[in-house]
Amino acid sequence: MIRVGIVGGSGYTGGELTRLLLQHPGVRVTQVTSGRHAGKPVSSRHPNLRKVCQLDFVSAARLEPADVLFLCLPHGQAIEQIDRFAALAPRLIDLSADFRLEDPAGYPRWYGREHSRPDLLGRFVYGIPERHREAMRSATWVSSAGCNATATILALAPLYDAGLVEPQATVVEAKVGSSEGGAEFSEATHHPERAGCVRSYQPTGHRHVGEMIQELSNGQPISIHFSATAVEMVRGVLVTCHAFLRDDLDEREIWRTYRAAYGTEPFIRLVKARDGIHRLPEPKLVTGTNYCDIGFDRDPHSRRLVVVAAIDNLMKGAAGQAVQAFNLMHGFDETTGLGFPGLHPI
Amino acid sequence: MIRVGIVGGSGYTGGELTRLLLQHPGVRVTQVTSGRHAGKPVSSRHPNLRKVCQLDFVSAARLEPADVLFLCLPHGQAIEQIDRFAALAPRLIDLSADFRLEDPAGYPRWYGREHSRPDLLGRFVYGIPERHREAMRSATWVSSAGCNATATILALAPLYDAGLVEPQATVVEAKVGSSEGGAEFSEATHHPERAGCVRSYQPTGHRHVGEMIQELSNGQPISIHFSATAVEMVRGVLVTCHAFLRDDLDEREIWRTYRAAYGTEPFIRLVKARDGIHRLPEPKLVTGTNYCDIGFDRDPHSRRLVVVAAIDNLMKGAAGQAVQAFNLMHGFDETTGLGFPGLHPI
Amino acid sequence: MIRVGIVGGSGYTGGELTRLLLQHPGVRVTQVTSGRHAGKPVSSRHPNLRKVCQLDFVSAARLEPADVLFLCLPHGQAIEQIDRFAALAPRLIDLSADFRLEDPAGYPRWYGREHSRPDLLGRFVYGIPERHREAMRSATWVSSAGCNATATILALAPLYDAGLVEPQATVVEAKVGSSEGGAEFSEATHHPERAGCVRSYQPTGHRHVGEMIQELSNGQPISIHFSATAVEMVRGVLVTCHAFLRDDLDEREIWRTYRAAYGTEPFIRLVKARDGIHRLPEPKLVTGTNYCDIGFDRDPHSRRLVVVAAIDNLMKGAAGQAVQAFNLMHGFDETTGLGFPGLHPI
Amino acid sequence: MIRVGIVGGSGYTGGELTRLLLQHPGVRVTQVTSGRHAGKPVSSRHPNLRKVCQLDFVSAARLEPADVLFLCLPHGQAIEQIDRFAALAPRLIDLSADFRLEDPAGYPRWYGREHSRPDLLGRFVYGIPERHREAMRSATWVSSAGCNATATILALAPLYDAGLVEPQATVVEAKVGSSEGGAEFSEATHHPERAGCVRSYQPTGHRHVGEMIQELSNGQPISIHFSATAVEMVRGVLVTCHAFLRDDLDEREIWRTYRAAYGTEPFIRLVKARDGIHRLPEPKLVTGTNYCDIGFDRDPHSRRLVVVAAIDNLMKGAAGQAVQAFNLMHGFDETTGLGFPGLHPI
């Protein structure tokens, strides 16, 4: 059994990791830390785990050695304590944004400050298994991808990798649920204000764009014109990507490109139904799952291709993706512990 | 492997059963029938099962012998075809209301018409495992309980069984989600009308009351004053039961009664947190699970005890309960295939 | 023009009052106070008032004399400053709970503490116009009713006044929206936790019960067994009242009682449609209005009568009711400024 | 008093028109027609109008002469009966799509069929008052604009009119509520399927694009790359427009352009708050109002300008816009009957 510690387990991502790893057949969760809730049952913060999880939170100071640590700390904290964590466990999976960009120059650009440990950036494998599977198998440190970045990269990679689209013209509109902001409450998350809202909360300048460019550029200058809008849902991201084809490809050719890229992927479902109401991906249909559903529509009047991708931001966009990486790192079948197919209706 | 056929698989309950049984380690789902959708992929109706279920619907006319049939037909249809189904499989689990009441006199009273096969009523075991576990182990026919009935019976049974409450004074208010009405659309389920509504759709005369009285009366005349209100959620039932204590019992005595009744039940969670926001059961926390969460609050100013119970109407209130019964009938561990602990947040 | 000051105008009730009074033809809103937001535009807190309200918040310390002050302070603050407010304006309308109970003994019972100014309790007219219209016409001080109390009292008063129901057996289940808790955010109102929830947040001991008993008792001992459940909506209260008839009255007799009580009321609508989906009151249909919609259903199997009433908690349950009182106090037509009929669909 | 007939009054747009015109001080609503509901009270379909509207629906066959007819028929029906309506009333306001495009060539392109009465197209004034105010003052026939078109045109017109943006590069993502589909129910609007969904229902080929191009092109070839996504709300449209500036204009210059275009418009609010949670337009804040709220954000890393506009699709996008046109046609103040400022919170 792999001994796993979850550092920063009182938030939503930590809760999901705890849930997944408790039911993973090759894992023993040894500790779940929380500064504020140390001593209380884990299930007091994650009531779905009543009767499922008997652990109490421990303070981070009491963190013990383990085979792997999952770091679910607020952005900026993993970087501070990374040496300590590295001393406690041979493998680290960081779910924060601290080590996602390989190029130190990206941090001032997208995060507004220098990176204090640029020496370590090259040691992390970027956490999307569909893009870095082989590197993960031998990786010791993995930096999990941002949720919006995951959906956008998976939606667009086949097009960018094959050089099919104008590299600087893509517009991406993400519709995101309220759990993306985490468990900390504020006026913006106060139910009367947030319920039923369609709020353009980050029309420009989203930090995840740095990751998108890193993964999609293939050495060429590209632009991803990204906007994020908060909508009424708790979990989920839907990205609508408007890409412009270089050549007048028809639907079958595009379809072939996606099949070539993802045909054998266990967690990517290519969705394109001719009829019915579920013709394209929808985030509510992947709630609780590790799937990324991808579909597209070809504008007959222009070179525009609309690619749509849906994920659960806490699963494929965070905890699920991290467990998928964990499986690869430790030689488990990649789908172990990630078999929940989702609910319908929901 | 137990060979299972699902009769009437295009509705919501049929979809949930398909999902659960496909992942059950002791089951092979051989057929899923649908009159209207025969020939189409099961996943065309249940898009969560894309990549998970490769079966196509078959017409009910082509139903083949199996070890067990789950009947998910609209109310009134199982009764018509019961002999045919009995000839095809030695075990039947009926999820409709057709055989829930043991006493033929209940049908005109609660359903407004005579029962056409009163000879068969005694052969069905009523489908709440927590109440009829031993009978189920040797049962061939099981009639699954109604969702509102399941929540109400589990909430109140310890009190009625122990004779602690005024038998005719209990008022039950159920708050139910929209999936309770099934997959058939109508003006009442049209999103602009149904969204955000709090609609008293069945203030009196609910059919499930017949089941409640059957299970709770213990041979005495009792009343359950039941009302159902539709609220904004897709899945879930919360019943708020106002029972009136015969004697001035304190909280600890009541607590002891519930522990005695349910302390070893795998799918009942007694919930009573002193602080935090999840002090009592909430339906959204049991979404997708087979749990029935139960808690209560003792009115210090009167003899009133408010018992609150939450279930997922499609799981513990339908498909999950039926799989639990199936496990008991076939000697599997009662929790097999029902391990999903639910999501937080959701 | 009546000069009106709104004290404590940054909360939801204050915002609604500002909206209503700005459009009232006989009113000039002279000041809207806020401690925290003094100096900022009123529309910065109430974005619906952009282009409608040009006022800035002033600090309460700068409050000037007016013809009437509406007090929208957090509970407990009006009582502290009542002498100062009384010196500034001849008429006061208090929307807090500070002066709702006439009997000082009610405060320790329902609020857990003694009332510090019992000498003033008799000077306030309780704020439900349908119950105290004549007293309001000559009132100088009015204490607006609680939202749950308003709906419950209006639903039950015809029955209690006519002595038709068992006085101690009534059970009331309120389903309430998130704005009832006000503009202060907390973990309980954090969108991922509050969205889609059905949460029994006050199963017993609700403070508004004191008001209900005061209004409904008519000198006799009565009980109102009240529970409140938070559901997914922002505005609105639906109370489902289970009352037990003393005699076996039929529907027409009950109907007659309600018509006699409310037939000429401008803001009460008796709802009982034979068909269609809107057969009983629904809170979403009164959103933004001052209506209280009331309907009922007679249980044919028992003496139970289920009375259902819907209001907008911020309107008929707070600001609208207060403006209705204001109109009566100042000789305006009772409906002035309250003509918005609500939206469908919504 | 202007005598007004509403043709096709049982749908959502007809209901809103009825509500607005009943409270319009210069209007007498003489008839509201409905084929299916003739003889029933108008309030049976529009329950918000109980106690407000005493009219019964009449069949369209019994339509009588009036000063103006509002046509709220399903698309394709006004065109069939236009001669009859013209004989009954000197002024017509059509809320369908039948006469929105001036150029007959637009119909096969955007609607997939030839227009059967191209002779009449030039007689209609396109119904956005902010664009065609003067023409409306003397118009006899007005064709109200589509809701998505209204929001997009108002958002982009200042930029296109001033020639500030690349004319072929604009991408528009509309997030729309469920009432946009009207009162007819279907599987797609069934609550369990539609609730909480984020569904890309029209990624390309939306019919409203024809109107957008007509209004924005100013004789030049332009493209509007439009997508529509259904989100969880009943009313409302939010369009997020990604336009690309020709020159490197700063925020002040763009601000100036919008102020010049809309500074005196009664129903356009330019929104750009520096802090707080309502920094950009949100559809829920304009619910029930005739406002179009517009704001923008300038991407510092590119030439992209993100313009965001919110309307209530049934008001500014349909009935409210039509009443605004009616006011202009009949010499009323443009804002008459449209003064509702909206609710907060909602």
How high is the pLDDT of residue C272? 85
Strand pairing report for D237-244 and D170-176: antiparallel
Q: Which residues pair with A295 in a beta bridge?
A: A308
| CATH class entry, domain D2-145+315-330 | alpha beta
Report whether the peptide linkage leading into residue A345 is cis, meaning its omega lies within 30 degrees of zero. Answer: yes
Query: Of A53, A147, A241, A292, which one is the catalytic site residue?
Result: A147
Across the interface, whether the CB atoms of C200 and B297 are under 8 A apart is answered yes
Chain D residue closest in CA terms to C315: D343
Residue from C53, C231, C344 to probe the interface with D (highest D Cβ count within 10 Å): C344
Contacts with A276 from chain B: Cβ below 8 Å:
44
* Contact list, C343 vs chain D (CB under 8 Å): 16, 19, 48, 235, 287-288
B36–chain D nearest CA distance, Å: 14
Positions of C annotated as catalytic residues are 147
Q: Is residue D273 very low, low, confident or very high in pLDDT (cuts 50, 70, 90)?
A: confident
Q: Which of B169, B229, B301 sits opposite C175 (nearest CB)?
A: B229
Please, are residues A308 and A280 in contact by the beta-carbon 8 Å criterion?
yes
pLDDT of C335 above 90: yes
Structure tokens at C160: 């209690």
Cβ–Cβ < 8 Å for B124, B95: no
Asked if D285 contacts D118 with a C-beta cutoff of 8 angstroms, the reply is: no
Measured N-to-C along each axis, helices A320-330 and A12-22 cross at an angle, to the nearest 10 degrees, of: 40
Burial of residue C116 (CB within 10 Å: 0-12, 13-18, 19+) is: middle
pLDDT 10s digits, C153-191:
999 999 999 999 999 999 999 999 999 999 999 999 999
Task: For chain A, give every domain's residue range.
Answer: 2-144+315-330, 147-311
Distances (CA, A) of A188 to A193, C40, D37, D239: 7, 19, 44, 21
| Residue in A with minimal Cα distance to C177 | A192
| A274 has pLDDT over 90 | no
Confidence of residue B272 (pLDDT cuts 50, 70, 90): confident
pLDDT band per the 50, 70, 90 thresholds, residue A273: confident
Share of residues in chain D with pLDDT > 70 (%): 100
Token digits of residue A311: 């994920």
Average per-residue pLDDT for chain B: 97
Give the model's pLDDT for residue D275: 87
Provide CATH code, domain C147-311.
Answer: 3.30.360.10
pLDDT 10s digits, B66-91: 999 999 999 899 999 999 999 999 99
Q: Chains A, D: CB contacts under 8 A, how many?
A: 135
Q: What is the ipTM of this complex?
A: 0.96
Closest CB to D269: pick one of C50, C339, C344: C50
**CB atoms D297 and A203 under 8 Å:** yes
Confidence of residue A192 (pLDDT cuts 50, 70, 90): very high
pLDDT in tens, D94-147: 999 999 999 999 999 999 999 999 999 999 999 999 999 999 999 999 999 999
Q: Do residue C175 and residue B236 have CB atoms under 8 angstroms apart?
A: no
Q: Is the pLDDT of residue C274 over 90?
A: no
- Annotated active-site residue A197? The verdict is no
Nearest to A232 among D187, D203, D232 (CB): D232
* Residue D274: band (very low, low, confident or very high) from pLDDT cuts 50, 70, 90: confident
Q: Is the pLDDT of residue C24 over 90?
A: yes
pLDDT digits (tens, 9 = 90+) for D217-248: 999 999 999 999 999 999 999 999 999 999 99
Least CB-CB distance to D306: which of A193, A204, A298?
Answer: A204
Band (pLDDT 50/70/90 cuts) for residue C305 is very high
Neighbours of chain C (3+ CB pairs under 8 A): A, B, D
Residue type, D127: G
pLDDT at B223: 97
Contact B200 C238 (CB under 8 A): yes
Task: Determine what percent of chain B is predicted with pLDDT higher than 70.
Answer: 100
Nearest to B271 by CA among B309, B321, B243: B309
Give kind and range of the element (H or E) at residue C106.
helix C106-111
Half-sphere exposure of residue D94: CA atoms within 13 angstroms, side-chain side: 30
**How many CB atoms are located within 10 Å of the residue A315 CB?**
31
pLDDT at A272: 85
Question: Is A318:A300 a contact under the CB 8 Å cutoff?
Answer: no
- Can you give the three-state secondary structure of chain D, one letter per residue? CEEEEEECCCCHHHHHHHHHHHCCCCEEEEEEECCCCCCCEHHHHCHHHCCCCCCECECHHHCCCCCEEEECCCCCHHHHHHHHHHHHCCEEEECCCCCCCCCCCHHHHHHCCCCCCHHHHHHEEECCHHHHHHHHHCCCEEECCCHHHHHHHHHHHHHHHCCCECCCCEEEEEEECHHHHCCCCCHHHEHHHHCCCCEEEECCCCCHHHHHHHHHCCCCCCCEEEEEEECCCCCCEEEEEEEEECCCCCHHHHHHHHHHHHCCCCCEEECCCCCCCCCCCCHHHHCCCCCEEEEEEECCCCCEEEEEEEECCCHHHHHHHHHHHHHHHHCCCCCCCCCCCCCCCC
Q: Do A52 and B271 touch (CB under 8 A)?
A: no
- Chain B residues with CB under 8 Å of C169 CB are 169
Q: Is the peptide bond before D281 cis (omega within 30 degrees of 0)?
A: no
Residue D13 has pLDDT above 90, yes or no: yes
Model's pTM, two decimal places?
Answer: 0.98
* Alpha carbon distance, N-terminus to C-terminus of chain B: 35
Architecture of the domain whose range is A2-144+315-330: 3-Layer(aba) Sandwich (3.40)
Across the interface, of B51, B276, B343, the residue whose CB is closest to A288 is B343
What pLDDT sits at residue B274? 84
Structure token digits, residue A146: 């941002």
pLDDT recorded at residue A297: 97
Using 50, 70 and 90 to split pLDDT, how confident is the model at D204?
very high
Residues of D acting as catalytic residues: 147
- Residue A275's pLDDT band, with cuts at 50, 70 and 90, is confident
Q: Counting runs of H as helices and runs of E as strands, what totals does chain C give?
A: 10, 13
CB contact under 8 A, D195 and B178: yes
The one-letter amino acid at C67: D
pLDDT score of A183: 96
Cβ-Cβ contacts under 8 Å, C194 against chain A: 191, 195
Contacts of B293 in chain A (CB under 8 A): 50
**In degrees, to the nearest 5, what angle opens at C-alpha D72 toward C-alphas D71 and D74?**
120
Rounded CA gap, A296 and A307, in Å?
Answer: 4
- Using the predicted structure, report yes or no on whether residue C273 has a pLDDT greater than 90: no
Q: What is the pLDDT of residue D10?
A: 97
Contact D275, D303 (CB under 8 A): no
- The pLDDT tens digits for A37-66 are 999 999 999 999 999 999 999 999 999 999
Min Cα distance A198 → chain D (Å) is 6
